[in-house]
Structure 1
Amino acid sequence: MEAQKSKIDPFAENELWDILRPSRLQERIQKNALGEVNSPPTDGTPYLKVVCISDTHEQLHNVSVPDGDVLIHAGDFTNNGNDSELIKFNEEMARFPHKYKLVVAGNHELGFDPLENQNQRLPADRGLGTEAGYELLTNVTYLQDKEITIEGIKFFGSSYHPLNGFPFYRTRATELAECWKAVPNDTDVLITHTPPLGYLDQFGEERWGCKDLLYTVERIKPAYHIFGHVHEQHGCLSNGDTTFINAAQCNKGNVIQTRPIIFYIPKRP
């Protein structure tokens, strides 16, 4: 079993996190029964209600999604990016009442990454997926190295991750550091598929998070960082500047198990 784990991400940076951990604050944030991590302003300040989900793996119909202003899906809405599931997901998203629906792709959205080396795919995934499948997502705002400002709040989304064999894989050595340079310095809500190193990223004995993403978050200090990818780590942490939300809905066996996470953020003029 240990040998199998080591093959998933042989470059997981556990040792680096052991060095970084003592200087990093990690405060657990408890959600209430509704899945809320904070309360809306009570002084009349206008705000956005943001609902976060991720890793629904073709089971969005089994998720009880509360209403709100913004619905975020942080990737892995399909198992392999086939067109019928993309069309189904797009139709399901259209039925939700949220005015804004923001989506990033996950590593299971095969065909979404135009720069993917498909020769590196896992054998079971070769030949699968839909080239430029994001074009089928007509009922959402698809974010890949893109930003959108809603009521003065800047959201930025990107799908890169360090897990070899999938779309949007980039190397930990140099490529990911370059990728995260695209994140604007004034980002309020960052949406990625991968977690940052050390924050809700542990899969078995491995840390699947990205160190360069962690450094980017620490530099930019967004109010919220939304992601998924590691199903077992659903929940919320804070480092004092940023609230980290792993919004994965499925458990390790790809069965819907958790509920969406909600936060409230004041609008800006």
Structure 2
Amino acid sequence: MVLQILSGWRRLRETSTPAKAPDPFEPTPILALAFRAPVKLLLYHTYHVINLLRSTPTPPERPIRVVCMSDTHNHIPEHVPGGDVLIHAGDMTNNGSIEEIQKQVDWLASLPHKEIVVISGNHDTYLDPRTRPSLPGDQRTGTIDWKRVHYLQHRRLSLTIAFDPRDRDTDSINSRTHLLARETRHRRIILYGAPQIPACGPMSVHAFQYPRGRDAWSETVPEDTDILITHTPPKYHMDLALPNGMGCEHLTTEVKRVKPTLHIFGHVHWGAGHEVVWWDGCHDAYEKGMSIQPRWACGLLNPWLWLSIVRVAYRGLRGLIWDRVWGGQGPHTVMVNAAQMYGNTGRLGNTAQVVDI
């Protein structure tokens, strides 16, 4: 009898369908997070509430308007805001064939922006020689006509943006001499683009991947970079930070070292949005706390997690007072997850984001 029960249980286990692992690119429900990692959930919201209370960084007198896009996946948005520079942070396509990439390049090149800059994403297969063999035979050879689009692949780009002051400040121009009214201003910005991402699929199919956890970033970004363009997010910033984060921790460290004015990325569709990261003690405490694994009792008995919350609150309030009372603004980076795709629905739903720098 006992042998029959054991035999039946074994057959049931062998024939039953295993539970499907949750998709890390889908957001974890808030109730599940409250059960699995309640202290980290509190840490996450403490940091972001304090950040929301801080003032918006003041752009220069003559700002450059940057239009940020990513993850269009063969789609063409109905409306693209105007601006000086348009930047696409990768995943222009689904399958990454030459034909698909060329269609996206043709569309981008037709837009009226003064400068257009693009990097690759993991779906833009042809652009990575390592994944090109996964394409059908007739798509493995050929070239892409980039037209006036700047394609950055581990490359630095210097742009000089010219603009007429009358485009931004008509009232003040009317009070000046005719000679000054015709003056054209210029600003120079440095951009750096890199497509590599932590592995999220087969290495032979998804482009520009490296094993998760490997440092593919240290000392790779030029120190004078004004705009950094990557496909992966930095870890714990608009990358579905809870419970574990889909971004790269080494990229976070590199961004902190360089402190670009603007960092544009995509890849994690549900993370679309923007935030200002202030490189201060509050951010350090947040990053260290988020890297702690809850383990026993979902982190409720972990004193280091609770200490991280105290540090984020204390240092964040100090920064908030310095900002709101004394008007001080320390080193910071505007981070933009520019994914156009609405989650993993296969359709566009997020608008392009505009940042003045």
Q: For residue 4 of structure 1, report the CA deviation from its aligned partner.
A: 2.9
Identity %: 34
Structure 1 contact 91–139 (Cα < 8 Å) conserved: no
Amino acid at match of 1:141: H
Match 1:198 to one of 223, 236, 249? 236
In 2 relative to 1, CA 29–263 (structure 1 residues): closer, same or farther, beyond 3 Å?
farther
Pair 226,133 (structure 1): closer, same or farther in 2 beyond 3 Å: farther
Return 5+ residue gaps in structure 2 as ranges: 1-17, 26-36, 160-186, 279-331
**CA separation in 1, counterparts of 2:103 and 2:131?**
24
Q: Does the C-alpha gap of structure 1 residues 28 and 95 become closer, same or farther in structure 2, counting only changes over 3 Å?
A: farther
Q: Is this contact kept in 2: 1:81–1:110, CA < 8 A? A: yes
Which runs of 4 or more aligned residues in structure 1 lie more than 4 Å from their structure 2 counterparts after TM superposition? 37-41, 128-134, 203-206
* Structure 1 residue runs without a partner (length 5+): 9-14, 31-36, 119-125
Aligned to 2:146: 137
Per the TM alignment, residue 206 of structure 1 is displaced from its structure 2 partner at its CA by 5.0
Q: 1:74 aligns with which of 76, 82, 89?
A: 89
- 1:225 alignment counterpart: 263
The AA in structure 1 aligned to 2:145 is L
- Give the stretch that moved more between structures: 133-142 or 222-231: 133-142
Report SS of the residue matched to 2:65: strand
After superposition, the CA RMSD in angstroms is 3.3
Distance (Å, rounded) in 1 between the aligned partners of 2:236 and 2:230: 15
Name which of 90, 100, 108 aligns with 2:123.
Answer: 108
User: Equivalent residue for 2:353?
Assistant: 261
Q: 2:15: which partner in 1?
A: none
Inter-partner Cα distance in structure 2 for 1:169 and 1:198: 19
Q: Which one-letter code corresponds to 1:208 in the other structure?
A: M
Question: What residue is the counterpart of 1:84 in the other structure?
Answer: 99
> AA paired with 1:214?
T
Paired position in structure 1 for 2:249: 211
The offset of 1:94, in angstroms, is 1.8
TM-score, normalised with respect to structure 1: 0.77
3-state SS of paired residue (1:111): helix
- Relative distance call for 1:204 and 1:59 in structure 2 (3 A) is farther
Q: Is the 8 A contact 2:98 2:144 kept in 1?
A: no
Match of 1:64 in 2: 79
More relative contact order, 1 or 2 (CA 8 Å, 6+ apart): 1
What is the TM-score when the length of structure 2 is the normalising length?
Answer: 0.59
Letter in structure 2 aligned against 1:4: A
Give the Cα separation in 1 of the matches to 2:53 and 2:71.
Answer: 21
Partners of 1:83 and 1:133 within 8 A in 2: yes
For residues 87 and 127 of structure 1, what CA distance do their matches in structure 2 show?
A: 15
Partners of 1:68 and 1:132 in 2: how far apart? 35
Deviations 1:211-244 (A, max 9, x none): 0000101111111110011111110122211111
Secondary structure at the counterpart of residue 64 of structure 2: strand
AA paired with 2:334?
T
Structure of larger gyration radius: 2
Matches for 1:119-138 after TM superposition, within 5 Å: 126-128=134-136, 130-131=139-140, 135-138=144-147
The alpha-carbon deviation at position 168 of structure 1 amounts to 0.4
CA contact (8 A) 1:106 1:159 kept: yes
Instruction: Provide the C-alpha distance between the structure 2 equivalents of 1:173 and 1:155, rounded to a whole number of angstroms.
Output: 26
Alignment-derived partner of residue 22 in structure 2: 5
* C-alpha distance in 1 between matches for 2:274 and 2:89: 15
Q: Secondary structure at the match of 1:181?
A: coil
Contact in 2 for aligned 1:29/1:236 (Cα 8 Å): no
Report the counterpart of residue 47 of structure 1 in structure 2: 63
The structure with the largest helix share of the pair is 2
State the alpha-carbon separation in 2 of the partners of residues 133 and 243 from structure 1: 38
Is the CA contact 2:69–2:89 (under 8 Å) kept in the aligned structure 1?
Answer: yes
Number of residue-to-residue matches in the alignment:
238
Find the counterpart in structure 2 of residue 245 from structure 1. 336
2:212 pairs with 172, 178, 185, which one?
172
Q: Give, in whole Å, the separation in 2 of the partners of 1:115 and 1:131.
A: 11
